[in-house]
Structure 1
Amino acid sequence: MSFHKLISKIGSAILSPGSKKSPYDIWMMRNEPDRSQFKAMGSDSQSWAYRPLVSIVTPVYNPVKYDITRCIQSVIDQVYEKWELCIVDGGSDKSYVKRIIERYAKKDKRIKFVSLSQNKGIAGNSNEALKLATGEYIGFLDHDDMLAPFALYEVVKLLNQSPELDFIYSDEDKIPAKGKNIYLQPGWFREVFLSYNYLCHFAGKRYEPFFKPEWSPDTILSYNYACHFLVVRKRILDEIGGFREGYEGAQDYDLILRVVNKTNNIKRIPKILYHWRATLESTASKTTIKPLASAAGKKAIMEYIKCKGLEAEVLDGPCPTWYRVKYSVSSLQKVNIIIPTRDKVDLLKRCVSSILNKTDYKNYEIMIVDNQSIEKETIAYFNTLNNEKRIRVLQYDKPYNYSAINNYAAKSTDAQFLLFLNNDTEVISSEWLTAMLEFAQREDVGAVGAKLYYQDDTIQHAGVIIGLMGLAAHPYQRLPRSDFGYMGRTNIVQNLSAVTAACMMVRKDVFDEVGGFDEGLEVAFNDVDLCLKIREKGYLIVFTPYAELYHHELASRGRDDTEEKRTRSLQETTTVGNRWKKTVTDGDPYYNPNLSLDKTDFSIKL
């Protein structure tokens, strides 16, 4: 018995029907239709008023026999039958390729096939396949991947509900190769025996589902999360001229960015409609492959940014083919850093000192809003700040109300940007203010949040998910600072529905437009409420991991540990819950309905 067959048997035994099922196994059984339901789905689709032809475009070059067979069969097995499969072979030198495809084409007239005399590359081959397409919509399928049998059914079902859509994408997962291209890098033993994904790979199971957010214009510039299963209106593809040469390795990324420059009619289908075939070879080489793809991705992003009339540089992100878009910032833009405080001067000193010593952007002022401090040390510290040109101490002589304090401060500045900052924070990264200003200055952005850590270097804030743990909560809390979270989302710029006001930047005109903080929310959820008001006006909320601070949470206010505080907290939670009931019920667009609301780690919903 070969080594790989041995590992496969071990994987199959561990993952056999009698063994404990993974959360994803359970999710598939509970959420996906089985074959007994396909006939009814097909009959259902026959009754739809709108039944467009969908062209599936598949460029081919020297695929593995098993892979190309399964790929084609996955299209033939579609519940929605009004499709055509447009295959172009870029001059494969393996004789079985043409033979397999021609055999299928003879059996099913919906399959169109052209064999080129020479390989035109991935972009050229794809464009040749596009020339065969006559459908109103184009779906993209790689020659070694597979569609779920109900993929086109779900796409056309959505189009019947929203016929204006131009761009549709879905969730996806991975499937293993079948005995080909398997390569184990050094350290394979630990990988194979300790990684569920590797065992799934050898056992032939689907694994690593990617449950995606709704369209997120900043997230897509961090990495290409939308490429599978991608369906685009053909008219728009014709307008942009299809794929472009010179973007090899990121040609799909470039295509997506040019398409979304033409339309805002974009929708996600939160179902696994695409199975991406991942060999161990490709997985093992993720950290070393694709320098050309990375460069092509940067080039595509730069083109997109120029079309938007913005200035930026595109840097490498935390992983290959992930990116950081760093927008140009003018030093003429003034930021007012608002810090409410009451005594506990050591916290305030640390906060202010970290700003003064670690901030590379210099056009700011610090507005300390003193809420009835009485300790001598605090008053003495305020007196020492009289000579600091960039610091003002503003008196707020009323009972504590976080919203009222910040609204009062916002009215007392002519700065273009407001940075709400807790006094129990401490700057880590010198670019923190610049990193937030990059996005706050954009007209389409309403608020920007930072990445915050507890003192022990675990995550305190990497965004807020609406509906999580009830009304809203922070995901990833207490994970190590280095943890990437779900699909790297702790370490990328992304769009969210809300961010914490422990460190939040808002453009002053936006803040005024939505009426500032609701002063009826003295302590709890006033930041979530503010963000949702901003979103309601059509602005984006952005989280950037490049603004890093410590947040010694509750050090300044303490916990809600009295009956009075608990009553107030419950009232505020109820107020926000009632106000945004529909938003909570509909689900956070930057989360996914297949992910749990009862855990903060993006676990699968069961």
Structure 2
Amino acid sequence: MSLRTKRIKELFGYARTLTREEGVGTMLRRAGGFFRRRLGGRRARYLPGKAALEQERGDPAAAQYPIISILTPLYNTPEPFLKEFIDSICAQTAPNWQLCLADASDAAHAAVGAYARRRAAAEPRIRYCKIENQGIAANTNAAARLATGTYLALADHDDQLAPHAVYCMGRRLAETGADFAYSDEALFRKTPASAHVAHFKPDYAPEYLMACNYICHLAVFRRSLFDAVGGERPECDGAQDHDLFLRMIDEMQRRDPGAAPLHVPQVLYYWRVHAGSTSGGNEAKPYVASAALRAVQDHLDATGRKGKAEPGKFPGTCHVQWELPDPVPLVSILIPNKDHVQDLEQCLFSLYSKTFYERFEVIVIENNSTDPATAAYYKTLPQRYDNCRVVEYNGSFNFSRINNFGRKFANGKFLLLLNNDIEILDGDWLTQMVAEAGQPGVAACGAMLYYPDDTVQHAGIITGLGGYAGHSHKYHKRGGSGYMFRLATVQDFSAVTAACLLVRTAAYDAVGGLDEEFTVAFNDVDFCLRLRRKGWRIVWTPYAELRHHESKSRGSDEKDAAKKARFAGEQARLYEIHGRETILRDPYYNPSLSLDYEDFRESADLRSLKNVEL
């Protein structure tokens, strides 16, 4: 069957399921959106329809939304760019905005100020001042002194706001009382209508934010919060917004440890791509990288976290090398095994010969092996590998029960669940995982797993993919940065695979270990979701690299009736325990991204952007 034929078959299957679960009307609306996308082109695809925008303009509630003062430093701005920027503000569907322009242009560009003054004279919501150029942070602070709004927003002089930006932000801020909110954004070269790509972001992800400034535009925050941290810092020019966001979040969490920025999953900002803009890459402003490292390091120092900010795998990213306690904690490595001596030997040999982290014990959990050679092999392990022993599990196969059994013999502060067909590639892998899992609020850490052909097998689990759960960037070539650096940065996920999962032993015990009703599938997803329900976070690191000798073509359980029924039962149990909506709305995956693919492509209909309800 060709890929095209398979895809058509999948689409018809999806239509049948959607009709059964949500009715013919919903299915037809989704189908209409799909065909409009395919046949009607991609123009203005990130905007709500004209009717929705007009409805916003007529909404009387908008007059009660908080005033948002937009801070924009000007510096030698090309007049066409400035005109388009100001026009985008004046075209907002809600009236609750103020534009604060601080002009640091040089004498050769006096036309910038002349044009801005003309616009300010015609529109009282535009405020203008002329200043000396002292850098982007100081110039932004000058714009803030013009502001009278309850909230402030940051916008560059050559970009544009979506027409519903102020309405959407104002509405959500009024509904939630949030101190800090951010939206998605898109990049354009000529006009926002022809924007070529969007940055669809996750909800607040603290580890990801330390690795890179994914929040970026549009960010809106209380004036009082901005003032409390002293505004932007000139010493972080180039990464001044990243620094500001980290400091404001620190201040929010000082007041309330559970506080977090609000994500508004709408494209509300259009970022112009041209030679001098960082939207086209940090090569345009090479000082950005060093400024970002300073911002992250200052955040670590201010919060008392013991780590050093270092350059990440790609320009524009950071990696924190955490300081481990002395002595380092003991890690108990649990490896279920049934025969497969060759796989187990490869796993153990690579573990002991390559791992830099020395304080670990290995517990091989024997699971009903039938080959006499396996028992003979087990007898050699204690002599060949230090702190390695075999314990015997005698029940029927149940992955969850086997690991729970092995935990009884573990003495470590951390447990590492490890498949017997894993091969260690990088000696620093366990050091990195222990460092991440040991951070405040983190319960578990997952690793980067590759197939034998060096394509990605696991880079974190996203719930909702395929209706239940799938692996981020599966089959992506090794060495890439992924979507918005998400294949190359330490970050937060809803779940990670139990093929290599490090967890605090206390956290494992607090949730009762793995749920033994999940015999084979989804036990790791359920386990991580239960940890998160207890208030813990799950992280994944690309700095722990391993090879998983699982075949890409191992086949599915579809042809085995008993296995198919078991899998369907475990799917149903996942929904039953956690709720269908919880599974389908992963906070670390944007609703405008596809649930049908694992490569972060856009949804076929972008319905979360089109169906903006008042």
> Same fold judged by TM-score > 0.5?
yes
Deviation at 1:138, TM superposition (A): 0.3
Deviates more, 1:383-392 or 1:153-162: 383-392
Is 1:382 matched up with 2:382?
no
Structure 2 counterparts to residues 35-114 of structure 1, below 5 A = 35-44=50-59, 46-47=60-61, 50-93=64-107, 94-114=109-129
Structure 1 225/80 Cα, relative in aligned 2: closer, same or farther at 3 Å? same
Question: Does the 8 A contact of 1:471 with 1:584 survive in 2?
Answer: no
Alignment partners' CA distance in 2, 1:304 and 1:454: 37
Question: Does the 8 A contact of 2:458 with 2:497 survive in 1?
Answer: yes
Is 1:279 matched up with 2:268?
no
Question: Does the 8 A contact of 1:344 with 1:556 survive in 2?
Answer: no
Query: Across the two proteins, how many residue pairs are aligned to each other?
Result: 560
Structure 1 538/35 Cα, relative in aligned 2: closer, same or farther at 3 Å? same
SS at match of 2:521: coil
SS at match of 2:102: strand
Alignment partners' CA distance in 1, 2:298 and 2:515: 41
Structure 1 28/329 Cα, relative in aligned 2: closer, same or farther at 3 Å? farther
Deviation at 1:557, TM superposition (A): 9.9
Q: CA RMSD in A?
A: 2.3
User: Partner residue of 1:197?
Assistant: none
SS at match of 1:218: helix
Alignment partners' CA distance in 1, 2:315 and 2:111: 34
Structure 1 25/393 Cα, relative in aligned 2: closer, same or farther at 3 Å? farther
- Name the % identity: 38
User: Partner residue of 2:439?
Assistant: 442
Deviation at 1:372, TM superposition (A): 1.8
Cα deviations by residue, 1:95-148 (Å, 9 ceiling, x for unpaired): 2101110110010011110001x2111111111111111110001111111100
Which of the residues 159, 167, 179 maps onto 1:166?
Answer: 179
Deviation at 1:225, TM superposition (A): 0.7
Question: Does the 8 A contact of 1:146 with 1:274 survive in 2?
Answer: yes
Alignment partners' CA distance in 2, 1:484 and 1:133: 39
Is 1:322 matched up with 2:317?
yes
Structure 1 356/511 Cα, relative in aligned 2: closer, same or farther at 3 Å? same
User: Partner residue of 1:210?
Assistant: 199
User: Partner residue of 1:301?
Assistant: 296
User: Partner residue of 2:159?
Assistant: 145
User: Partner residue of 1:223?
Assistant: 212
Structure 2 counterparts to residues 545-556 of structure 1, below 5 A = 545-553=542-550
Is 1:260 matched up with 2:260?
no
Deviation at 1:587, TM superposition (A): 0.5
Gap regions ≥5 residues in structure 1: 1-19, 179-199
SS at match of 1:589: coil
Q: Which TM-score applies when normalising by structure 2?
A: 0.87
Deviation at 1:34, TM superposition (A): 4.1
Alignment partners' CA distance in 1, 2:43 and 2:534: 37
Q: Which amino acid aligns with 1:572?
A: E
Structure 1 396/155 Cα, relative in aligned 2: closer, same or farther at 3 Å? same
Q: Which amino acid aligns with 1:309?
A: G
Alignment partners' CA distance in 2, 1:319 and 1:31: 28
Q: Which amino acid aligns with 2:395?
A: K
Q: Which amino acid aligns with 1:517?
A: L
Deviation at 1:457, TM superposition (A): 0.7
Structure 1 512/25 Cα, relative in aligned 2: closer, same or farther at 3 Å? farther
Alignment partners' CA distance in 2, 1:215 and 1:552: 34
Cα deviations by residue, 1:547-570 (Å, 9 ceiling, x for unpaired): 111111269998535322222222
Deviation at 1:63, TM superposition (A): 0.9
Alignment partners' CA distance in 1, 2:388 and 2:582: 40
User: Partner residue of 2:5?
Assistant: none
Question: Does the 8 A contact of 2:362 with 2:387 survive in 1?
Answer: yes
Cα deviations by residue, 1:159-214 (Å, 9 ceiling, x for unpaired): 23212x01110000112169xxxxxxxxxxxxxxxxxxxxx9xxx82111111000
Structure 1 409/50 Cα, relative in aligned 2: closer, same or farther at 3 Å? farther
User: Partner residue of 2:334?
Assistant: 338
Q: Which amino acid aligns with 2:487?
A: T
Alignment partners' CA distance in 2, 1:432 and 1:404: 27
Q: Which amino acid aligns with 1:386?
A: P
Which of the residues 491, 494, 497 maps onto 1:497?
Answer: 494
Deviation at 1:405, TM superposition (A): 0.8
Which of the residues 455, 459, 462 maps onto 2:459?
Answer: 462
SS at match of 1:512: helix
Structure 1 389/556 Cα, relative in aligned 2: closer, same or farther at 3 Å? farther
Alignment partners' CA distance in 2, 1:249 and 1:510: 40
Deviation at 1:538, TM superposition (A): 1.2
Gap regions ≥5 residues in structure 2: 1-34, 253-258, 605-614
Deviates more, 1:139-148 or 1:24-33: 24-33
Cα deviations by residue, 1:473-532 (Å, 9 ceiling, x for unpaired): 113222211233222211111111011000000001111111110011111100000010
Deviation at 1:416, TM superposition (A): 0.3
Alignment partners' CA distance in 1, 2:511 and 2:42: 40
